[in-house]
Amino acid sequence: MQSTAQITTAKASGYLQQLAKHFAHKRPVTFDPSDADIRFDGFRAELHAEGEVLSMAIHADDAELLSRGEDVIWRHLERFAFREELVAPDWQRAA
């Protein structure tokens, strides 16, 4: 299963890198200024920053893990972006 969403922010690359560095302390992570791959137990998050758009994709084997992945990424992104009001992502799911 997969879930995707986009966030518009002038700090797309900065947030991608901040998320990747944060999770790299406990999770396998590869990243550069425009792409990140973060491996969790049961799901994987792929992030892509281009201009003012941060694209997020969560991959999981079931709906429960997919929801967990969406929640983990959004909660951390929201926490890191406390200086701006981000619009909550509209996650789009596909089997």
**Percentage of the chain with pLDDT > 90?**
93
Tell me the per-residue pLDDT of 65-88, one tens digit each, with 9 for 90 and over.
Answer: 999 999 999 999 999 998 998 989
3-state DSSP call for residue 29? strand
* Domains of the chain with CATH codes: 2-82 (3.30.310.50)
- Gap between the Cα atoms of 56 and 15, Å rounded: 12
Among positive and negative, which fits the CA dihedral 4, 12, 82, 86? negative
51 residue type, one letter: G
Tell me the per-residue pLDDT of 37-59, one tens digit each, with 9 for 90 and over.
Answer: 999 999 999 999 999 999 999 99
